[in-house]
């Protein structure tokens, strides 16, 4: 783990891995929001059980709020499994929770935040966009609160 010096004190970054089935929407959004809200205290990563590429509507709804995912890509959980320590593994879909190994070496705490899969929404383009926006906003709200709680507990 990397250390940052802040006014003479050593502060260890809190590493968080967001896991989803395809690493195409929810986990990508969560990673981006932790980068936005977490500041220098956190390192955010995301991965999927079966990476599928980032959904175009994920990129679109994140761009609407000023978050550019152009340099992001889908990654496999195997890229990290047993290779990297994470203070938290946050599983953002119930399917990934069922498929994820019960033991994930190098994880301090396992959290499950099941959000609906916006990619499964049927309907018009606008209805699909609405589903992506709704999940985006739910993830944003959840991350804001969680980061505030963690920041209070480590200050």
Joined together, the tokens standing for residue 138 give 């739910």
Q: Which residues make beta-bridge pairs with 76?
A: 48
Q: Phi and psi dihedrals of 20, rounded to 5?
A: -140, 175
Q: Say how many CA atoms lie within 13 Å of 118 toward its Cβ.
A: 32
According to DSSP, residue 100 is labeled: S
| Length, in residues, of the chain | 155
Give the residue numbers annotated as catalytic, written as ranges.
Answer: 20, 93, 100
Task: Say if strands 3-6 and 86-91 run parallel, antiparallel, or are unpaired.
Answer: unpaired
Say whether 2 sits in a helix, a strand or coil: coil
């Amino acid at each position: 783990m990397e250390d940052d010096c802040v006014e003479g004190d050593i502060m260890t970054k809190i590493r968080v891995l967001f896991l989803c089935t395809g690493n195409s929407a929810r986990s990508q959004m969560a990673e981006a929001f932790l980068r936005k809200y977490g500041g220098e205290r956190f390192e955010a990563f995301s991965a999927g059980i079966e990476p599928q590429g980032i959904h175009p509507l994920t990129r679109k709804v994140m761009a609407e709020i000023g978050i550019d995912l152009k340099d992001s890509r889908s990654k496999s959980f195997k890229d990290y499994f047993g290779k990297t320590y994470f203070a938290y593994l946050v599983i953002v879909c119930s399917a990934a929770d069922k498929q994820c190994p019960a033991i994930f070496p190098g994880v301090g705490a396992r959290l499950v935040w099941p959000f609906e899969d916006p990619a499964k929404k049927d309907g018009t383009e606008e209805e699909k966009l609405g589903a992506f926006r709704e999940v985006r906003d739910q993830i944003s709200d959840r991350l804001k609160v969680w980061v505030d709680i963690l920041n209070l507990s480590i200050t």
